[in-house]
């Protein structure tokens, strides 16, 4: 902030008034977002300095209320339930496909819990528009810049990176659909075989028509279908806390141990390949357990 304040004094002579005013507004917003009692109103574009200890935050501009903790638009029923219960109540009470769509595809910032919607299928690195927190859209692990990450010395030479668990979509998106299905079948988990069909069939096409979006080519549609298939399967895998290590090859297990700085067990001379795979698997499960979501 000191750097940008100094920069402001140096560049305002060269900027037109509108651009300079925008620059100052951004500086102000950045300073406000660093204050622990500041939050944006969920009804309008203004922010509020919330001094009360109650969850209800009233906006002096639009006179509407927002929950200071979960950032949801306020309802008096929230007084009697937690933020998670309130979100569930809102989804159960609201009609229409939009709420179902947001529940299925919405992204919630793990830092400030602001919820927004992005068209997924590409990069899993997300930056919250409110608190600027960098996180993974698959496992919600933070993305850290090089030396800011204290996991190991190797992180210092890396750029923006996160330490994803092995069941994160960041890794499992590289599996083909058949292998993801095999992991579910291996654990006797039921799932829809025709998982591309459902309540959202035709919904995305109606959005494109409503907002006059360009239709994708067949090749792009097929790629998106594959991504949606994988996202569906990985959601079931994560919900049941299934461990992908059950289907790992020896090379994948060695890579997993190396990734978390865990030494691989020594292979005995008379040990069979199957027995060594089992010892690698047990080492991973004991030393690098999955985090329950």
Nearest CA among 180, 94, 171 for reference residue 139: 171
Question: From CA 55, how far away is CA 122, in angstroms rounded?
Answer: 35
Question: From CA 271, how far away is CA 125, in angstroms rounded?
Answer: 42
Residue 96, sorted as left (phi over 0), alpha (psi -120 to 50) or beta, turns out to be left
Nearest CA among 256, 278, 252 for reference residue 267: 278
Question: From CA 7, how far away is CA 2, in angstroms rounded?
Answer: 9
Cα angle 139, 145, 151 (rounded to 5 degrees) comes to 70
Is 57 in contact with 65 (CB distance < 8 Å)? Answer: yes
Annotated catalytic sites, by residue? 123
Question: From CA 235, how far away is CA 241, in angstroms rounded?
Answer: 10
Q: Name the one residue in this structure whose structure tokens are 């692990």.
A: 141
Is 242 in contact with 167 (CB distance < 8 Å)? Answer: yes
């Amino acid at each position: 902030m000191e750097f940008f304040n100094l920069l402001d004094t140096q560049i305002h002579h060269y900027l037109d008034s509108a651009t300079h005013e925008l620059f100052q507004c951004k500086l102000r917003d950045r300073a406000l977002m660093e204050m622990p009692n500041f939050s944006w109103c969920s009804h309008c574009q203004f922010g509020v300095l919330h001094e009360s200890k109650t969850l209800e935050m009233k906006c002096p501009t639009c006179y509407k209320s927002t929950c200071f903790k979960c950032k949801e638009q306020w309802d008096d029923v929230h007084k009697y339930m937690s933020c998670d219960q309130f979100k569930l109540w809102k989804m159960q009470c609201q009609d229409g496909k939009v709420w179902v769509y947001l529940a299925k595809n919405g992204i919630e910032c793990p830092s400030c819990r602001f919820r927004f919607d992005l068209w997924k299928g590409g990069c899993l690195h997300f930056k919250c528009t409110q608190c600027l927190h960098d996180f993974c859209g698959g496992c919600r692990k933070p993305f850290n810049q090089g030396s800011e990450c204290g996991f190991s010395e190797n992180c210092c030479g890396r750029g923006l990176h996160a330490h994803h668990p092995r069941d994160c979509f960041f890794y499992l998106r590289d599996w083909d659909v058949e292998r993801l299905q095999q992991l579910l079948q291996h654990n006797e988990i039921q799932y829809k075989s025709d998982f591309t069909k459902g309540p959202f069939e035709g919904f995305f096409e109606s959005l494109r028509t409503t907002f006059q979006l360009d239709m994708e080519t067949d090749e792009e549609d097929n790629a998106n279908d594959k991504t949606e298939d994988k996202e569906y399967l990985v959601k079931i895998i994560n919900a049941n806390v299934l461990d992908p290590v059950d289907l790992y090859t020896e090379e994948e297990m060695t890579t997993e141990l190396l990734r978390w700085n865990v030494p691989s067990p020594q292979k005995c001379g008379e040990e069979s390949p199957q027995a060594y795979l089992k010892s690698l698997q047990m080492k991973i499960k004991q030393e690098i357990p999955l985090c329950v979501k």
